[in-house]
Structure 1
């Protein structure tokens, strides 16, 4: 079952979480597997003019991956509480969007309303971000704005904190030696275990017809890329360490280089996708 990796905060509404610059996020966060992109595109088979609503888009990975595959995409709505992320996403999409229009909405996902009533989303995506949102309220919003046959896709693959390998376990222990045993999360404190799964949320929503899809993903990391990735996370962002951050990064780099042994660090992940429709919607 898919469980959120972080507390379900009502909203994370400032730039303190990932910083004012999105370049590191774009560079170090893994993209979508090709199989996931084609699965999302296939949900729009028979839709003459697909409209994408991407919630928590970060630097635009989902629409950037979909545009070359879903050529009929006519409009994209990006929704994020982080203005710098939205700016970066729009910049990434501008050279490749063609005739597809793009709007950006700065605010909590559950407060979104389309700028144009004629652009009801036919695909709503939420990649590695649903755990930050007021989930039942987001699904209610989706029911209000979405087209009758719309598909909601909630997806993710955990993080290097949750991945189980010798090198990630050692890295977690190092982070905990600086920040304490409890995992840091968001801007509000530490991680607490979720009471509900995403499947529970969907079962209680109008989008209760759910199919699950799981894709194994093998990744390799250089020690330097892991350091860059950590800077973008809520559990190891630089501000948590204050003036000890340079010391932490030096220790982390030594640890990662020891585990890499002059080669690469391996991550065997599973990218999971929940495709949800209203009962009676197209399969």
Structure 2
């Protein structure tokens, strides 16, 4: 699915993030469910079994004092000298203006930035995003909204500016994303995703259907801090490879942000997601 870079982080098997009401809210501490004036957050995966005892630094997010993401670094676990950095720039109204992305090694040989530039309408909604590799335009996405300022359609055009994909969005009674449908350029339905949210906007069920009739389903529950504590994954019909149950146990800092998430798969300990958080205050 061709959507903004950060959206690929929405559904994590390791601990929890909530689908946003508004597509631009993903660039804030609010989306990441962080309390207090967070400055940086570093993510580590810790494995403690006898065969693989390791700590891997996977990602760092940097926020400004108003709570907007300014930089994200993804670390390559296979090559410690290589990492990918995303830079986020905003206009005077605090709207995302541009995202630049580069790999430390590929940039060194002159491949250039990957960049997304955004345009807005009078309602401060993104109506167009242009994707570049270096100076070359590689993709265009156009966005359409209903009278409630919610995105109902996204049309994606390729490097030749021909229509490639169309996404339709619909919402539940509380305004959270309820369904996404993906079509090809001939208006043939390819995939459908259904989202079922609770009254607080937390995703409790996630169901995908493809053009072949395959169905994948995920179900979630949460604690009083609104952090995910269970996840049931049902992919296809094979019970040996398609069924997984996850559970999560948390440790918190004085601000109420979790610093460790212990992940269990099918009741067996799997790994620890550690977060090191610094604050402006």
* TM-score, length-scaled by structure 1: 0.30
Q: Which of the two has greater helix per residue?
A: 1
| Greater relative contact order (Cα < 8 A, sep 6+) | 1
Q: Which of the two has greater strand per residue?
A: 2
* TM-score, length-scaled by structure 2: 0.30
